[in-house]
Amino acid sequence: MKIKKMINKSDFKEIFPLVLELRPLLTEEKYFAMIDEAGQRDNFEMVVIYKNDLPVGIMGYRILFDFVHGKHLYIDDLIVSPESRSKGIGAELLKYAECIARDKGLEGLRLCTGIDNLLGKKFYEREGWSAKAIAFKKKI
């Protein structure tokens, strides 16, 4: 397995089908627009794990700073293809995130998952993460 940082449009285009596993309503047009804007605004980056030259896991992240968490790495998306789950791909991506946070001298890492994502919650707890908050959301 190798981890690669996504850099150009062809990289992002190659992984779009895997992104749809978590974001099935996302169009390719909106996907590229969001990647461009998030990269410019928040230095959003994505990395991919390949196995046998096929993308099997993706992690999108950015560095944030706020009063509650200090300077930290926020993981926006962690996606593993259905056939590659429970094979260490997600754990490898989280380890990669920890390395980035350590290298940059950050205070920690943070992510959110859905309240009903029981398998995701169990996975994060198994990887040493603790549930610390409930996120509220309101559409306008």
Is 120 part of any domain? no
Name the residue among 84, 81, 80, 35 with its Cα closest to residue 61: 35
In total, how many domains does the chain have? 1
DSSP assignment letter at 77: E
Q: What is the CATH number of the domain that holds 86?
A: 3.40.630.30
Give the Cα-Cα-Cα angle 36, 136, 34 (nearest 5 degrees): 10
Specify if 129 maps to a domain.
Answer: no
**Dist. CA 68–CA 87, nearest whole Å:** 34
Cα separation of 94 and 78, whole Å? 9
Assigned domain for 123 exists = no
Q: Is 73 domain-assigned?
A: yes
Q: What tokens does 13 get? A: 């285009």
Residue 52: domain span: 2-113
- 88 domain-assigned: yes
**pTM for this entry:** 0.91
Closest CA to 48 of 83, 74, 81: 81
Is 134 inside a domain boundary? no
Closest CA to 74 of 103, 114, 42: 42
Assess if residue 6 is contained within a domain: yes
Give, for all 140 residues of the chain, the pLDDT tens digit: 789 999 988 889 999 999 999 899 999 999 999 999 998 888 999 999 999 889 999 999 999 999 999 999 999 999 999 999 999 999 999 999 999 999 999 999 999 999 999 999 999 999 999 999 988 999 99
Residue 140 lies in a domain: no
